[in-house]
């Protein structure tokens, strides 16, 4: 180890910034802009990725089949929307007014028909097929947020990649690399925010400890010590100059209160909070918007809608795993915690508020919004009491909006029963490539920190989605 490396390590320890800027999840910083008053300027693109854990039924949400027999179409009817010919579930009364702002993809599909949460979610979040897992080989592929944190790190916030409410309960709902950053390392893993017992719809919601105010006196003492170490003998070394630049960026990020203020939910007008909905999904989408405003580049939001007052079943991670009676989850078309009658109105309320908010503030131009499950549900309703649907990876639907995505479109098509795509199938690879393209991340630059050439994804961006 050379002299610079030894001093660099000493400097990290002395400043107390080593684990914060280089080793802790999500804490990587780049360059961003602020205006003359020091306020954030949304010069870089960000993404809010709403993961509807469990896999919502495409036939009961955005790819309805009203002409199919009732055992396929289910009990709901579609409604007309702002875009002629574009129909969605009758409970999406607010989203129906905003269809000109987003594109529906009704031809999502997993190669190999992966039908378990664990592997399907890995495919979706990594933008890669599951071939290595099928072969029994380790898959070190980082997830979308980790790549974004690497290529588009934030300077205004010491978190670039965040996840609002980590999947909890059975491990089947957590993909393998969610918390580790894959081969990119822990610095690019997400910072997890909140839990079932600590989320922004609750009074006394507490942000992660990393956002706690720093001790100013101790911080200044460490800064002085660090400067002394740097100036002792290596002040002419270019590598030390580079480290000094990094240190200053770290200081700036730590001393900015912007990231902490994102969690001050009470500063939002009551009407705004109520518009999103005073439930976990609504307030997490509002928090996601506030975190993007504070400089976080990629925010994954668990699509948990909360638990119905009369139905406390189920872990807070899988609202959309609507199997029905065969797994003790109640009626998939009812008003329980695992029921469309409970979940769809909350999704409609929260997502429409987010899209409206982003559009009104001008943020939609630079904020990509993706809403999807890890797969869909069986086209046929299970013959059981109460009814439900099983996993179905061959065909499902997603919503994508903002950051250059054209609104008012339906991309892809499934057959008359929603069993498989018949036009423009979209694999997780294509979805990932489209996300990277929208965020200005070069998918043809696959070199990781170890110097090994790896592919971000084998997919190509779907250019037809862009306006």
Please determine, for residue 219, whether its predicted confidence score (pLDDT) is greater than 60.
no
What's the average model confidence in pLDDT over 198-205? 94
Q: What is the mean pLDDT of residues 193-213?
A: 89
Q: 3-class secondary structure for the chain?
A: CCHHHHHHHHHHHHHCCHHHHHHCCCCCCCCCEECCCCCEECCCCEEEEEECCCCCCHHHCCCCCCCCCHHHHCCCCEEECCCCCCEEECCCCCHHHCHHHEEEEEEECCCCCCCCHHHHHHHHHHCCCCHHHHCCCCCCCCCHHHHHHHHCCCCCCCCCEEEECCCCCCHHHCCCCCCCCHHHCHHHCCEEECECCECCCCCCCCCCHHHCCCCHHHHHHHHHHHHHHHHHHCCCCHHHHHHHHHHHHHHHHHHCCHHHHCCCHHHCCHHHHHHHCCCHHHHHHHHHHHHHHCCCCEEEEECCCCCECCECCCCCCCCCCCCHHHHCCCCCCCCCCCCHHHHHHHHHHHHHHHHHHHHHHCHHHCEEEEEECCCEECCCCCCCCCCCCCEECCCEEEEEEECCECCCEEECEECCCCCCEEECCECHHHHHHHHHHHCCCCCCCCECCCCCECCCCCCCCCHHHEC
- pLDDT on residue 330: 92
pLDDT band at 111 (very low <50, low <70, confident <90, very high): confident
Residue 450, pLDDT > 90, answer no
Instruction: Look at residue 314 and tell me whether its pLDDT is greater than 80.
Output: no
- Residue 222 is predicted with a pLDDT of 58
Least confident of 20-24, 121-125, 263-267: 20-24
- Given this model, what pLDDT does residue 14 score? 37
Predicted confidence (pLDDT) per residue in 354-373, tens digit: 999 999 999 999 999 999 99
Domains in the chain, CATH or no CATH each: 1-30+215-259 (no CATH), 45-207+263-465 (3.40.720.10)
């Amino acid at each position: 180890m050379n002299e610079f490396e030894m001093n660099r390590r000493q400097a990290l320890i002395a400043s107390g910034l080593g684990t914060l800027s280089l080793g802790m999840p999500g804490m990587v910083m780049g360059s961003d802009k602020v205006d003359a008053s020091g306020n954030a300027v949304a010069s870089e693109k960000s993404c809010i990725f709403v993961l509807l854990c469990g896999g919502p039924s495409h036939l009961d949400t955005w790819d309805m089949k009203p002409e199919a027999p009732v055992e396929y179409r289910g009990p709901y009817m579609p409604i007309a929307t702002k875009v002629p010919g574009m129909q969605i579930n009758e409970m999406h009364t607010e989203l129906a007014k905003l269809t000109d702002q987003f594109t529906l993809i009704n031809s999502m599909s997993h190669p190999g028909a992966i039908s378990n949460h664990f592997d399907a979610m890995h495919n979706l979040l990594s933008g890669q097929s599951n071939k290595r897992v099928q072969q029994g080989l380790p898959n070190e592929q980082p997830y979308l947020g980790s790549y974004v944190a690497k290529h588009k790190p934030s300077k205004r916030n010491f978190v670039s990649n965040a996840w609002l409410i980590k999947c909890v309960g059975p491990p089947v709902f957590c993909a393998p690399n969610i918390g580790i950053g894959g081969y990119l390392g822990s610095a690019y893993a997400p910072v997890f925010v909140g839990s079932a017992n600590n989320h922004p719809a609750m009074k006394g919601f507490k942000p992660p400890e990393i956002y706690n105010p720093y001790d100013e006196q101790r911080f200044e003492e460490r800064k002085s010590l660090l400067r002394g170490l740097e100036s002792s003998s290596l002040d002419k070394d270019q590598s030390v100059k580079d480290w000094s630049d990094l240190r200053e960026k770290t200081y700036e990020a730590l001393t900015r209160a912007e990231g902490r203020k994102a969690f001050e939910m009470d500063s939002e007008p009551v009407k705004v909070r109520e518009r999103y909905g005073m439930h976990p999904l609504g307030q997490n989408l509002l928090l996601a918007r506030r975190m993007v405003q504070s400089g976080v580049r990629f925010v994954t939001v668990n699509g948990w809608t909360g638990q119905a007052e009369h139905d406390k079943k189920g872990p807070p991670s899988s609202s959309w795993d609507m199997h029905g009676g065969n797994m003790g989850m109640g009626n998939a078309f009812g008003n329980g915690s695992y029921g469309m009658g409970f979940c769809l109105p909350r999704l409609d309320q929260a997502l429409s508020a987010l899209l409206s908010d982003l559009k009104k503030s001008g943020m939609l131009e630079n904020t990509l919004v993706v809403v999807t499950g890890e797969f869909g549900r069986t086209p046929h309703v299970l013959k059981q009491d109460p009814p439900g649907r099983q996993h179905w990876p061959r065909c499902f639907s997603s919503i994508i909006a903002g950051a250059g995505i054209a609104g008012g479109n339906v991309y892809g098509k499934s057959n008359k029963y929603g069993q498989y795509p018949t036009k423009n199938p979209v694999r997780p690879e294509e979805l990932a490539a489209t996300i990277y393209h929208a965020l200005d991340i070069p998918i043809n630059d696959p070199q990781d920190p170890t110097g090994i050439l790896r592919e971000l994804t084998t997919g190509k961006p779907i250019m037809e989605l862009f306006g």
